[in-house]
Chains A and B, each alone.
Chain A
Amino acid sequence: MRLRWPIPLLVAGHTALLAAYTLPADLVPLRTRALAIAYVRPLFHQQWRLFAPDPPLCSCQLQVTDANGRWVGLGEDHPHYLYRRMVRGMAWNAQRGVVEGHTRVEPVIAEAIGRLLRDQGSSVGPVRLVERCITDPEQPYQREERITPLVLR
């Protein structure tokens, strides 16, 4: 039995749905997007937006107070790349909320930060978000510091 014929069709259909799922939302019709989400998300979830459409203009860091009351970065100096990535992920998520005007961190990220605090041996004290933001992209070294206290609970 020759089964070759549908391969180009299957590959094209699958790739079209992946494209509808991953392309910028305003380029894809709503119904196509919904179909693509239903098909892609369960087993083929992916997104290709690292530093796109633009890299973030603000670097961000979570800080807590140490035993001497000084503000220190939380977990960002960990030697392992996956640990640092988790810490960065928490900071970016908190920052997204701050940009939208919320200082109360969304519950799932607040829980993650709580776990990070426990792992770092920090007491659940005040946590703040420190952003260093570029004001002129042609002068990326010049960054303005913004500090936002975060509410975890």
Chain B
Amino acid sequence: MTAAPTTIRLFRFALHLWMLGFLLSVLPVLDVLYIEPLSPRWVPPGPFARITHTIGAASMAMASPVMVAVGIVLALVGLFRRSGVIAALVLWWVQINLMGQAWLAGSGGQQLMAVVLFWNIGLSVAEGSPGSWRNWLRTLSFWMIRSQLVLAYAVTAVHKLTGVLWPSGDAIGVVLTDEAFAPSLVANWPVLCHLVTWAVLVLQCTIPFALWWRRTRVAWLLAAMAFHLATALWLDIPEMGFAFCVVLLIHLSEAEGQWIMNRLGQARGTPSLP
């Protein structure tokens, strides 16, 4: 098992971009998320709560703007420089504590990113010589993130296959006629709704396998990104859609990562990203 260093750089760039976008997006509702939160304080039992819910309810009002600011700065720095272990650790801690406070506003995308930011601590270790503990930790973190993504798709596929409305093709019609979501107009075409429902089901059932083969990987990655961008736009879960698009990048091979990096580097007028 090896890690793909260029893919890791591209992935970490996208991860920092997501974090920056998410933290900027919370600014207009900072008060109802953290300062005078709508979510009542809830701390899980166990010793790990000291890490995931470090700051008490009273102090959170003062600490949260600082935490968000620190997160924004670290995410911004991570876009332009290779950030180290401490920065990655702080970024994870910020995300998991903010998510713990505003639990009513949580989503699978935020949960995914909290897990990925944890493994990003291992990815942030500088590359070492072959066989060194540094490379071991980077490789472990790299594969943990890859397997995390595959697991998310596989588990959601199993859940949907155990239901009635996904196999019958009715699920998307039901979702889109809920006033909370758009575009409800699509529900006027039942055949289209059935096709989209089955397409989503096929995508989620096959992607855990398709990501491992060169011939299928790119096509499935693009299809999954299109799906997630659609959910970001129409299902009111923008950060979740973008989170999956970011994490999908970890499945690119070294050559595919290099190809994208070269294009990005040309676009930026610099040889490569940090």
Name A residues whose Cβ lies closer than 8 Å to a Cβ of B: 1-4, 7-8, 10-11, 14-15, 18-19, 22-24, 27, 41-57, 59, 61, 76, 80-86, 88-90, 108, 111-112, 115-116, 119, 132, 134, 137-138, 140-141, 143
Q: Are B131 and A4 in contact (CB under 8 A)?
A: yes
Contact B48 A42 (CB under 8 A): yes
B170 to chain A, nearest CB (A): 4
If A81-B238, A141-B177 touch, does A50 touch B170 (CB 8 Å cutoff)? no
Residues of B within 8 A of A23 (CB): 155, 158-159
Tell whether, in the assembled complex, residue B144 and residue A50 are in contact, meaning their CB atoms are under 8 Å apart: no
**A-B contacts besides A49-B156, A80-B29, A111-B40, 5 pairs, CB < 8 Å:** A10-B140, A10-B144, A54-B163, A83-B29, A85-B104
Q: Which residue of B33, B36, B178 has the most chain A CB atoms within 10 A of its CB atom?
A: B178
Is A22 a contact partner of B155 (Cβ separation < 8 A)?
yes
Residues in B lying within 8 Å of A, measured CB to CB: 1, 25-26, 28-29, 32-33, 36-40, 42, 44, 46, 48-49, 51-52, 96, 102, 104-105, 107-108, 111-112, 115, 118, 131, 133, 136, 139-140, 143-144, 147-148, 150-152, 154-156, 158-160, 162-166, 168, 170-171, 173-180, 187, 190, 236-238
Q: When chains A and B are docked, how far (Å) is the Cα of A11 from the Cα of B174?
A: 37
Q: Is the CB of B104 within 8 A of A19?
A: no
Bound-state Cα–Cα, A143 to B150, Å: 36
Kindly list chain B residues whose C-beta atoms are within 8 Å of the C-beta of A10. 140, 144
Given contacts A8-B1, A15-B151, contact A82 B26 (CB under 8 A): yes
A24-B162, A82-B105 known; A46-B171 Cβ under 8 A? no
Closest to A141 in B: B177
| B143 and A11 form a contact (CB under 8 A) | yes
Asked if B158 contacts A86 (CB within 8 A), the reply is: no
- Please measure, in the bound complex, the distance between the C-alpha atom of A115 and the C-alpha atom of B111, giving whole angstroms: 25
CB distance from A99 to the nearest CB of B (A): 16
Q: Which residues of the other chain, A, contact B190 by a CB distance below 8 angstroms?
A: 138
B38 close to A115 (CB less than 8 A): yes
Task: Report Cα–Cα, A145/B160, bound state, in Å.
Answer: 27
Q: Report yes or no: B104 in contact with A43, Cβ–Cβ below 8 A.
A: no
Could you say which residues of chain A place their CB within 8 Å of the CB of B107?
Answer: 85
Q: Which single residue of chain A is at the shortest CB-CB distance from B158?
A: A23
* Pairwise interchain contact A54-B38, C-beta atoms closer than 8 A: no
The 8 closest A-B pairs by CB, nearest first: A53-B163, A42-B48, A52-B159, A3-B136, A140-B177, A54-B163, A48-B156, A137-B170
